[in-house]
């Protein structure tokens, strides 16, 4: 049990031209769960969990070589300054309009062309946790204010991965951080067959419908009577037959008390017995069934030469609602001096016999 550190690779910074060592930290727990995090993008690069027979396997998509993390977006990364989409990259804060960089059709996604996932973060080990920090200057990707952000990773003895985010700003700005791990509890290489076997249950009685460009319409729609009603245990196979094209939607936590760590979702893979429970202090979470991964065999090669394909994994990204800055009735996502950003996530891994 504990934390070890090594060097995972070398990053060529596009701004300075300098080569920077990529640090990797391995956290292990008494439960048999182990987690690796790297300083590039404050990224969760690996999670290994035993099944009901004690056999261990990777349960997130990932890569053997550091360079591959720079070629594929958002694999386990910390997302910031703003997770998810902002329509047309436009926002107004205190009467001042801002244009953010456009990197997803005509919209802004996951912090822009060079979000926080594409930087080397400062890092250290302290008091049984791994800390990462990143400075984002005023004007970065169009956002106002200097922001200093921190991510803290802690693995408890029961196999719970705690992720704690904090950020301070010098000007009013929008902040919405999350983690973008791709999970498959059947094993990282189990593909769509493994995904379909998962039983999912969401603590959400509403969701935010989206346009054809996946921007929220502003409606808070009840899930009842729709394909998004996953309040009772449902297999992903059944759920995806009811949602053509796959799930890539924000769900609103039932009676959420913001700031308190509360249950959002559970994912159970009965053949292996592995379970992931997700808790968050934010009011929403995005469920994404990797609909934009390639459909062709070998187009995306991951750990141990595995082929990662369309709907071969899922993401559960706790966060504020997408495009909240442009919908006054969505939860507040503007932070300012004296009002720091804080968000905690718990990914709790269990085994059912």
> Where do the domains of the chain lie?
2-351
In angstroms, the CA 108 to CA 102 distance is 5
Q: Is position 84 annotated in a ligand binding site?
A: yes
317 belongs to the catalytic site:
yes
pTM of the model: 0.97
Annotated ligand binding at 85? The verdict is: yes
Instruction: Please answer whether residues 301 and 291 qualify as being in contact, where contact means their C-beta atoms are separated by less than 8 angstroms.
Output: no
Average pLDDT over residues 121-145: 98
Grade residue 244 by pLDDT with cuts at 50, 70 and 90: confident
**Per the residue annotation, which of 262, 277, 282, 317 is the catalytic one?**
317
pLDDT at residue 353, rounded to an integer: 86
- The reply to whether 254 belongs to the active site is no
pLDDT digits (tens, 9 = 90+) for 278-320: 999 999 999 999 999 999 999 999 999 999 999 999 999 999 9
Kindly name the residue from 58, 110, 180, 198 that is annotated as catalytic. Answer: 180
pLDDT digits (tens, 9 = 90+) for 138-187: 999 999 999 999 999 999 999 999 999 999 999 999 999 999 999 999 99
Q: How many CB atoms lie within 10 A of CB 14?
A: 8
Please list, residue by residue across 102-141, b when 16 or more beta carbons sit within 10 angstroms of its beta carbon and e when fewer do: bbbeebbbbbbeebbbbbbbebeeeeebbbbbbebeeebb
Does domain 2-351 fall into CATH 2.70.98.10?
yes
Listed in sequence order, the residues at least 6 apart from 339 whose beta carbon sits closer than 8 Å to its beta carbon are none
Q: Is 79:117 a contact under the CB 8 Å cutoff?
A: yes
């Amino acid at each position: 049990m504990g934390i070890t550190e090594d060097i995972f690779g070398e990053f060529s910074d596009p701004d300075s031209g300098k080569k920077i060592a990529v640090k990797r930290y391995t956290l292990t727990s008494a439960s048999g769960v182990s987690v690796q995090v790297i300083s590039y993008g404050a990224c969760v690069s690996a999670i290994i969990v035993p099944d009901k027979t004690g056999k261990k396997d990777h349960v997130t998509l990932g890569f053997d070589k550091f360079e591959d993390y720079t070629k594929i977006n958002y694999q386990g990364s910390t997302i910031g300054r703003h997770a998810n989409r902002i329509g047309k990259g436009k926002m107004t804060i205190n009467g001042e309009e801002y244009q953010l960089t456009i990197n997803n059709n005509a919209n802004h996604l996951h912090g822009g062309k060079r979000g926080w996932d594409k930087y080397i973060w400062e890092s250290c080990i302290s008091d049984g946790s791994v800390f990462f920090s990143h400075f984002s200057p005023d004007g970065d990707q169009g956002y106002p204010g200097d922001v200093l952000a921190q991510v803290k990773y802690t693995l408890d003895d029961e196999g719970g991965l705690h992720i704690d985010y904090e950020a301070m700003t010098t000007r009013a700005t929008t902040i919405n951080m999350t983690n973008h791990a791709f999970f498959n509890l059947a094993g990282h290489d189990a593909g769509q067959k493994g995904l379909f076997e998962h039983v999912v249950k969401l603590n959400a009685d509403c969701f935010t419908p989206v346009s054809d460009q996946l921007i929220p319409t502003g409606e808070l729609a009840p899930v009842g009577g729709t394909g998004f009603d996953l309040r009772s245990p449902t297999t992903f196979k059944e759920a995806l037959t009811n949602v053509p094209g796959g799930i890539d939607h924000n769900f609103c936590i039932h009676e959420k008390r913001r700031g308190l760590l509360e249950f959002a979702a559970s994912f159970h893979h009965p053949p292996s017995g592995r379970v992931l429970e997700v808790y968050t202090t934010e009011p929403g979470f995005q469920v994404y069934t990797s609909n934009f991964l390639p459909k062709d065999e070998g187009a995306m090669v991951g750990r141990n030469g595995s082929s990662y394909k369309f709907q071969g994994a899922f993401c559960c990204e706790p966060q504020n609602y997408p495009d909240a800055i442009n919908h006054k009735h969505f939860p507040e996502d503007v932070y300012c001096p004296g009002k720091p950003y804080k968000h905690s996530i718990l990914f709790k891994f269990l085994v059912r016999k």
